[in-house]
């Protein structure tokens, strides 16, 4: 599978240079007209990000791919109903959020969440950071699991997906104040973990002001 990544990247480059307008809204318009190539481009663009988000919420690798399929099928089937008032990515993540919570509800009877093994943790960065960050990441990953899925969603959407709180409200279909409250609780629960690892204000006090 690893070998195919290169060829995907190569074909993606080919596609982006050959089709002039492959902006998200344009792709959705074409998908609404049952254009499979547009759908494939959209898939290449979103599958990785969606997979990560779904994994954060569902935490069971074997289920994540299945749910990702469901999300993309909804995109295929309801692209015509997308009203173009919000960003395409917000719409797609909203579908993913909904599907993930549904999957969680369905799975709640099943055995506990599988821990992620270390060799599954693949983040491309320098070896000198990797140890420290790896340690921090693992601890925070455990901390994240202790949060409610809704709190985890807000943390992930803010700090990994870089969303504004308004967008998060749209994705998770709740008022902006709820987003802020969920983040408030998540910060409260995660702060001691960071402090225990020597992170927090003590380390960061030398940082310059903006």
- Judged by CB under 8 A, the residue of 24, 26, 51, 178 near other proteins is 51
d(CA 72, CA 50): 10
Q: Is 106 in the site for other proteins (CB under 8 A)?
A: no
**Helix (H, G, I), strand (E, B), or coil: what is residue 178?**
helix
| Shortest Å, Cβ 160 to other proteins | 5
| Shortest Å, Cβ 107 to other proteins | 17
Q: Is 63 in the site for other proteins (CB under 8 A)?
A: no
| Shortest Å, Cβ 196 to other proteins | 12
Q: Is 89 in the site for other proteins (CB under 8 A)?
A: no
Q: Taking a C-beta distance cutoff of 8 angstroms, is the pair 64, 19 a contact?
A: no
Q: Taking a C-beta distance cutoff of 8 angstroms, is the pair 50, 93 a contact?
A: yes
Site for other proteins in 189-208 (CB under 8 A): 190-191, 194, 199-201, 203-205, 207
Q: Is 8 in the site for other proteins (CB under 8 A)?
A: yes
Q: Is 72 in the site for other proteins (CB under 8 A)?
A: yes
Complex with other proteins: residue 52 or 173, whichever CB lies closer:
52
**Helix (H, G, I), strand (E, B), or coil: what is residue 133?**
helix
d(CA 26, CA 13): 18
Q: Taking a C-beta distance cutoff of 8 angstroms, is the pair 105, 88 a contact?
A: no
How many chain residues are in contact with other proteins, going by CB under 8 A?
74
Cβ-Cβ contacts under 8 Å for 163 (sequence gap 6 or more):
90, 93, 157, 171
CB neighbours of residue 66 within 10 Å: 13
d(CA 72, CA 207): 42
Choices 35-43, 79-87, 88-96, 102-110 (CB under 8 A): range interacting with other proteins = 35-43
Complex with other proteins: residue 19 or 29, whichever CB lies closer:
19
Q: Is 65 in the site for other proteins (CB under 8 A)?
A: yes
Complex with other proteins: residue 16 or 105, whichever CB lies closer:
16
Site for other proteins in 132-161 (CB under 8 A): 133-134, 136-141, 144, 155-156, 158-160
**Helix (H, G, I), strand (E, B), or coil: what is residue 99?**
helix
Q: Is 209 in the site for other proteins (CB under 8 A)?
A: yes
d(CA 194, CA 201): 10
């Amino acid at each position: 599978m690893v070998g195919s990544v290169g060829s995907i990247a190569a074909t993606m480059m080919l596609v982006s240079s050959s089709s002039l307008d492959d902006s998200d809204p344009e792709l959705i318009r074409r998908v609404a007209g049952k254009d499979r190539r547009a759908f494939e481009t959209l898939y290449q663009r979103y599958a990785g990000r969606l997979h990560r988000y779904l994994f954060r919420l569902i935490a069971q690798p074997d289920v994540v791919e299945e749910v990702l399929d469901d999300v993309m099928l909804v995109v295929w089937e309801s692209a015509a109903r997308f009203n173009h008032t919000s960003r395409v990515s917000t719409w797609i993540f909203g579908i993913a959020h909904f599907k993930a919570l549904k999957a969680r509800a369905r799975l709640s009877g099943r055995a506990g969440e599988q821990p992620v093994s270390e060799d599954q943790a693949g983040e491309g960065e320098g070896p000198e950071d990797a140890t420290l960050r790896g340690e921090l990441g693992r601890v925070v990953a455990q901390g994240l699991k202790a949060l409610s899925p809704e709190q985890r969603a807000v943390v992930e959407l803010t700090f990994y997906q870089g969303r504004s709180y308004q967008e998060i409200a749209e994705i998770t279909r709740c008022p902006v104040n709820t987003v802020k409250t969920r983040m408030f609780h998540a910060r409260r629960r995660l702060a001691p973990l960071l402090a225990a690892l020597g992170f927090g204000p003590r380390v960061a006090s030398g940082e310059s002001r903006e």
